[in-house]
Chains A and B, each alone.
Chain A
Amino acid sequence: MEDILIIKDLTFKYNDNYIFDKFNLTIKKGTWTTIIGPNGSGKSTLIKIIMGLLKSDSYIFIDNMLKTSDNIKQIRTKIGVIFEHPDSTFVAETVMDEMAFALENLEMDKKEIQKKVKEVARFLNIAYLLEKNPFQLSGGQKQLVALASILVLEPKILILDEAINRIDYFERNNILEVLSKLNKEKGITIINITHDIEEAVYGDDVILIDKGKIILNGSKELVFREEKVFNSIGIDIPFMAELSLKLMYYNLVDEMIFDMDEMVNKLWI
């Protein structure tokens, strides 16, 4: 598999404090990676550097392009970021206009815009929201609209910055399902930055960072075997990972199983 994001020897200082010191990171195309770390581990700084909102002179390759100050606009079209507070990014009075906004700025043909907006709305099951005011929606619906306004631009990488943090339980599951569909059907690379470990169950790979350093990196099946490492920095592993580890100890299952239905069916054949 091809690498879509490569960060080499990233060093970043903030008021003489090193946030990152020779930090390296590679993300493979089409994967879903969860970046997890305690509060203050450097997660948000990392996104700002990738997006060029904070300056750094390190090598950052995105989709085979070396990021420089000249091509930052082009780089940004390849990455979509969804933040914790979607309200702060809304500009329009209807969801339709919100989704069309970026395309209008790119001077796309009106008919093309309509077509694109409708297509994305259908994919996310939010066609019924198109005439509504984005500010008056529920938290989960707002995040779907934020997601839709990014998807019309066809990004290669989607970064979630604590984006599902404050959303209701059932809406959260719906968004995670939608992301899963985007990842599998459209091949969009997903990077979910969060401190809620349960979200990692949905992805493929997990990166644990602390104090600007990668502590663990690999598939979720392997990473979550290191329960002690997680506990040592004050993080519990996901419920299903903990359950799997304990059942493996008693020889009741022989691998990590993250899906509850699958687990039940394995235990009671």
Chain B
Amino acid sequence: MDIKFNKVGYIYNEKTPLQKEILKDLNLEIKKNQINAIIGKSGSGKTTIIEMINALIIPTSGSILIDNCFIEKQSKIVNISVLRFNVGLIFEFPEEQFFNSTVEKEIEFGLKTFNYKTDEISKRVSNALKMVGLNESYLSRNPHTLSNGEKRKVAIASILVFNPKVIIFDEPTIGLDSNSKNNLMRLIKMLKNKYNKTIIIVTQDVDFLHKFTDYIFVLSDKKVILEGNKYQVFSETELLSKHGIGVPKTIEFSSKVFQIKDIKMGYRDEINDLIKDIYRYAK
């Protein structure tokens, strides 16, 4: 599924005294069947972008092409429901939206609303549950009594039942400890490799995303200021810091070495590789 932003602008509360420009002439092309990340400070327009991909808000200028769906201010959107079935959006703290008494009811809720047949529902629910790595015994449990990591899996499963082609995660690691973060990372990788999903992650957690992201967009000053794979993006430490964005710890360390001692150690994602470099260059 293609997602392409063409000179997209967005003005919040347009033509009122409270108007505020969030995005300006933004161009962006999401990479198909890959893990894409959008990073930037809060207020840089990250959430606006993902709401646009779901057509929850419409650009005030420019256009967006999502699959065969063309979105711009002047024209009526055709096939908006198809679009929303194809794009699954997992909000920040999705578990705060739970309102059912069992995991099963929580996951099947969306399908029931759209009048799916009973056996189709149960097939899709058990499939989604398997995808997120929970067994059938969870179905009868109260979602509010689960651990944070499990809650998030249930929230993800309730989106997967629709079999979306694109899955968007908004700040998925907030409130998770290291273990749950690693589980989430494995799950996201599997969604890409095994099920060919296109993934979009919006986050500030650079240490999390640099371990497995294929392509990164850096958002600042209302547009994309830098894009590329992690090597291309995170080697621009100075530019990123100027825009208030941190880099992964391993990179921060090697750029400190370069800054203080003028020694170039290269790009390392793993702490063990960093150690090898230090062993080679130190003292």
**Chain A residues within CB distance 8 Å of chain B:** 38-40, 138-139, 165-166, 168-170, 195, 197, 234-236, 239, 242-243, 246-247, 250, 252, 260-261, 263-265, 267-269
CA of A41 to CA of B249, assembled, Å:
27
Tell me if B174 counts as interface (CB < 8 A to partner A).
yes
Q: Which residues of B contact A39 (CB under 8 A)?
A: 147-149, 175-177, 180
A197 and B147: CB pair below 8 A?
Answer: no
Nearest B residue to A250 via CB reads: B279
B278 and A267 form a contact (CB under 8 A)? yes
A267 to B256, CA, bound (A): 12
Residues of A within 8 A of B204 (CB): 168-169
Number of chain B residues whose Cβ lies closer than 8 Å to a Cβ of chain A: 36
Q: State whether A38 touches B177 (Cβ < 8 A).
A: yes
A268 lies within 8 A of B282 (CB): yes
Residue ID in chain A nearest B179 by CB atoms: A234
Listed residue (A236, A261, A264, A267) with the most chain B CB atoms within 10 angstroms of its CB: A264
- Asked, given contacts A38-B179, A39-B175, A250-B275, whether A260 binds B252 with beta carbons under 8 Å apart, the answer is yes
Mark the stretch among B2-10, B64-72, B128-136, B257-265 that contacts chain A.
Answer: B257-265
A-B contact list, 15 entries, CB within 8 Å? A39-B177, A165-B174, A166-B174, A168-B41, A170-B246, A195-B176, A197-B178, A239-B249, A243-B253, A246-B275, A250-B279, A260-B253, A260-B256, A261-B256, A268-B282
Minimum CB–CB distance from B283 to chain A (whole Å) comes to 7
Give per-residue flags for B202-246: 1 if the beta carbon is below 8 A from chain A beta carbons, else 0: 001001000000000000000000000000000000000000111
Inter-subunit contact A40/B261 (CB<8 Å): no
Closest to A40 in B: B147
Most B CB contacts (10 A, CB to CB) among A168, A169, A234, A239 go to A169
- For the complex, give the distance between the alpha carbons of A180 and B43 in Å: 27
Contact at B278–A252, with CB atoms within 8 Å?
yes
Chain A residues whose CB sits within 8 angstroms of the CB of B149 once the complex forms: 39
The minimal Cβ–Cβ distance linking B191 to chain A, given in whole angstroms, is 22
**How far is A250 from B257 in the complex, measured between Cα atoms in Å?**
19
Evaluate whether A247 and B177 lie within 8 angstroms (CB atoms) in the complex, with A168-B244, A269-B283 already known: no
Measured between beta carbons, the chain A residues less than 8 angstroms from B249 are 239
Assembly CA distance A258 to B100 (angstroms): 46
Instruction: Return B154 CB to nearest CB of chain A, in Å.
Output: 15
Shortest CB–CB separation between residue A262 and chain B, in angstroms?
10
Residues facing A in B140-158 (CB within 8 A) are 147-149
> Which residues of A lie under 8 Å from residue B78 when comparing CB positions?
none
